[in-house]
Structure 1
């Protein structure tokens, strides 16, 4: 389930899945030493990106509050379903091209322009095909009352192909670029939603505003990219290399789209638009919270892509730090979302959205798996471990869809959220195990387990002792933070490492 609003594709997109079957491109040129940024420089860029994302998060939540209150649960469900389908089409159209292109640019700087230009052509061609498919399905009325909105949203799908340009920024260790684009789209979308709410526009007009926002965002992205990795002439030979590395990802992308996006479609047909509205309201918090792991993996992809040339000790340090940070982000966010669930839903959406509280708590548990999945899939993608990922995602998708039909029919949005939680935990743990294998590293089981225990203990205590929500939030953050430091899941040595003037 996606949040209402334009999306910017980036390495951490949950729709992205790994590509390749071995090292992503054994024949690619090595990255020159001067291409690496110091750990401190990369940390500062990531910190700037995080700051921009936090501002964008505030803007996004304000947008959601206005939109949800204006449309009411049923109208919000109709619009959210259309955006889910549009986002799903864009993710399927990517077929792993973005992450494959980013990994290749990180290793082959001399051919960066040609690689990026070829990737853009591939992504645009497939996005056009996805647009036609959406328009035909909407014309046949497959999406019920959302069909008219889907027809408009589909127009933005080819424009989403330009999001592949962020692959160049990622490969150049510039995570702040995608954050700037995300903030721009957030401000534009908030403006559009406020205008619609004040003028009394309907959801179809809102969809046209969505298309306009995507057009402006795409133009800004193209201008920014020209200063980083100018587009080169597309090459059939380069297209062959990209397809050779990413064809398994097409299968994986379909599977990920099925288990990540189609739950809302099933819920819509079984329980109606109102239940989709509750689910969308709860899932919005999960979407927004993904800025944490997204910031983690933005610099991780190019680092890992060149790590095979380093020594085993360095690879183990990179993997251990990423895995430990991922589980801290996931568990810490889950604790806060569970503690604040009633207050968040009531404040942002109003009393009409009370049924979204339980789904939000379940989706908070799912976020632990989401954060681990970011780490695992990014590492596997950067190094080309695809076939096991493809098998995993297809298998999980089949089980997920069967479980969604059963759970949604019985428990509506709560059932959908429970299935999503189980799915994300399985994906997160499994991909981290695969990442440990490809990095020839050890999974820091003790440290990760101690973080999960700390999170569970914090939630249990808050469950027993009911306090005003500001006090609960402060207690949750304080107790969890102390527990993480006491367990040495993250240490002062880790902080010194990421602030070092040497390359990470």
Structure 2
């Protein structure tokens, strides 16, 4: 079997593991969200969501682009993996502590209730552990051991769910649900540390010279991360400042579903980053093949999720929050369309990093920030959570279109072909079937949707027998398993 096939099978199997693991941990997370939202109601769930969004902002800012740099640098054969991981880990802990301290000062001046501010302080240790977990993903992805962080994530979500259930049973307040976040993250962190140290015997060091070199490479990604955060998370933050907690609760119910699906493309693109980085400069033809395979895979996987989520939006929000949250179905429909562009954007962003063009991402995300902040400030006062949903969609279309054209300019190659149209047709047929059977149970509709989409896609020749064997059975494919591409530009 060729090296390309072996790597391809590792990516396929690890992505499958990530998907299965994410479904399990996502189910645990959604159960916890359903319990919390039903227990706290719209306003209480809105306050809970404000706690999360504030800490997510701090977490993203403190990243400094270190996760992407770690993934890229440890994939290079000439680098000392142990030293790089130890140095980046030490730098990450230092930066996280610094940014969290600064954030507490900022928190004092924000117009939030006392319960929200205390809740942020209580939940902040959990986000420090999440910060460390995120960095460890780079180690697992490099060694194609994604089953281990999946186990860690399930442990984290399971522990959080246990505490949520206990706190509801004892009629506890909002602050205890913030505490459940910290408890769950602590369990997940210890599990991931045990797993990661089986692969690399790293420690926590602060090497000033190496840290300076790392920051020189990571600063464009750090700026990009902050800008990404502004347009990706700032909508909820602005909503929390301009509208009551009830509106935040409605939007967050829809956003939790949207957010729960984002791990899949992030995991897949993260697995592709070391592979694309290894061939980006020396073997551009191989890079084109890897990029096209990844894009095909994401298109085939994303379109049915987008269509299915759009059609089933009302059933989904009822499942999560009950009748009180049915109003969240409209923002969820809009976010499900945005999901398609977010999925592809994960691949595009990692491809740009692999091509060592991350400085251009600063300008790309700058466009996203402008669109998000300006449009949200204009439209939130009148349209509330509907404005944040539409602005998210518009921003994702703009940002990911620009990134796609940056990649095309670098590789001079058009990767899209008839497979996109075939996947679109299969998704549309699936969606129509679901729409005319909405009286059925949501789980029955999802099961039938998967069957209809898969069979239709196969008969439309959107996926071949060889590729199915390659992904599922790990049997080698022929030398030319993919249809011809659009050609060089």
Regarding TM over 0.5, the answer is: yes
SS at match of 1:107: coil
How big is the shift at 1:231? 1.2
Work out whether residues 342 and 357 of structure 1, in 8 Å CA contact, stay in contact via their aligned partners in 2: yes
Counterpart Cα distance in 2 of 1:310 and 1:153: 46
Structure 2 matches for 1:108-257, cutoff 5 A?
Answer: 108=77, 111-144=80-113, 146-163=116-133, 164-231=135-202, 233-257=205-229
SS at match of 2:80: helix
Work out whether residues 5 and 476 of structure 2, in 8 Å CA contact, stay in contact via their aligned partners in 1: no
Moved more, 458-467 or 38-47: 458-467
Work out whether residues 156 and 186 of structure 2, in 8 Å CA contact, stay in contact via their aligned partners in 1: no
Structure 2 matches for 1:1-12, cutoff 5 A?
Answer: none
Counterpart Cα distance in 1 of 2:414 and 2:455: 25
Structure 2 matches for 1:430-445, cutoff 5 A?
Answer: 430-445=402-417
Counterpart Cα distance in 1 of 2:434 and 2:19: 29
Counterpart Cα distance in 1 of 2:170 and 2:83: 46
Counterpart Cα distance in 1 of 2:441 and 2:466: 34
Matched, 1:341 2:310: no
Work out whether residues 66 and 88 of structure 2, in 8 Å CA contact, stay in contact via their aligned partners in 1: yes
Larger RCO (CA under 8 A, 6+ residues apart): 1
TM-score, normalised by the number of residues in structure 1? 0.86
How big is the shift at 1:402? 1.2
Structure 2 unaligned blocks of 5 or more? 482-489
Counterpart Cα distance in 1 of 2:256 and 2:372: 20
How big is the shift at 1:70? 0.8
Counterpart Cα distance in 2 of 1:436 and 1:237: 36
Counterpart Cα distance in 2 of 1:425 and 1:481: 27
Structure 2 matches for 1:68-467, cutoff 5 A?
Answer: 68-108=37-77, 111-144=80-113, 146-163=116-133, 164-231=135-202, 233-308=205-280, 311-452=283-424, 454-455=426-427, 459=431, 467=439
Moved more, 268-277 or 75-84: 268-277
Work out whether residues 73 and 352 of structure 1, in 8 Å CA contact, stay in contact via their aligned partners in 2: yes
Moved more, 210-219 or 433-442: 433-442
Work out whether residues 375 and 432 of structure 1, in 8 Å CA contact, stay in contact via their aligned partners in 2: no
Work out whether residues 64 and 225 of structure 2, in 8 Å CA contact, stay in contact via their aligned partners in 1: yes
**Corresponding residue for 1:25?**
none
User: CA offsets, 1:436-479, max 9 Å, x none?
Assistant: 44445422154335534554565467657865355754564455
Note closer, same or farther for the CA distance 1:177–1:429 as it changes in structure 2 (3 Å cut): farther
SS at match of 2:201: coil
Counterpart Cα distance in 2 of 1:126 and 1:36: 39
Counterpart Cα distance in 2 of 1:435 and 1:494: 25
Counterpart Cα distance in 2 of 1:68 and 1:466: 24
How big is the shift at 1:197? 0.7
Work out whether residues 393 and 427 of structure 1, in 8 Å CA contact, stay in contact via their aligned partners in 2: yes
Counterpart Cα distance in 2 of 1:34 and 1:479: 34
Note closer, same or farther for the CA distance 1:396–1:136 as it changes in structure 2 (3 Å cut): same
The one of 10, 29, 40 equivalent to 1:60 is: 29
How big is the shift at 1:107? 0.8
Matched, 1:468 2:437: no
Counterpart Cα distance in 2 of 1:475 and 1:223: 40
Counterpart Cα distance in 2 of 1:464 and 1:35: 43
Moved more, 89-98 or 287-296: 287-296
Note closer, same or farther for the CA distance 1:466–1:340 as it changes in structure 2 (3 Å cut): closer
User: CA offsets, 1:233-266, max 9 Å, x none?
Assistant: 5433322331121111121111111111111121
Work out whether residues 404 and 415 of structure 1, in 8 Å CA contact, stay in contact via their aligned partners in 2: yes
Aligned-residue CA RMSD (Å) = 2.8
Note closer, same or farther for the CA distance 1:383–1:144 as it changes in structure 2 (3 Å cut): farther
Work out whether residues 235 and 376 of structure 2, in 8 Å CA contact, stay in contact via their aligned partners in 1: yes
Work out whether residues 376 and 433 of structure 1, in 8 Å CA contact, stay in contact via their aligned partners in 2: no
Count of residue pairs the alignment pairs up: 472
User: CA offsets, 1:321-362, max 9 Å, x none?
Assistant: 111111222211111111211112112211110110101111
How big is the shift at 1:141? 3.9
Work out whether residues 339 and 472 of structure 1, in 8 Å CA contact, stay in contact via their aligned partners in 2: no
